[in-house]
Structure 1
Amino acid sequence: MVSEVGGGVKRIRHLYLPRTTIKAQALADFVSQIAGISLEGTFKIEKWLLHVDGSSTIQSSGAGIVITSPQSEDLELAVKFGSKASNNNAKYEALVISMKMAHEAGARHHIAYSDSQLIVKQVEDTYKAKEENMIQYLQQIAELKISLNYFQLIQIPREENVNANCLSKLASALEDCRTRHITIQYLPRQ
Structure 2
Amino acid sequence: MADLQTALANSDLVHDRATLERAIADMAARIHHDYAGSVPVYITVMHGGLPFAGQLVLELGACGQDVEFEYLHATRYRGTTSGGELTWKHRPATPLQGRRVLLVDDIVDEGHTLAAIRDWCNQQGAAEVRIAALAVKKHDRCVPGLSADYVGVEVPDRYVYGYGMDYHEQGRGLPAIYALKE
Interval containing the TM-score (normalised by the shorter chain): 0.3 to 0.5
- In terms of fraction of residues, the more helix-rich structure is 1
Output the TM-score relative to the length of structure 1. Answer: 0.31
Between structure 1 and structure 2, the one with the greater Rg is 1
Structure richer in strand, relative to its length: 2
Could you tell me the TM-score, scaled by structure 2's length?
0.32
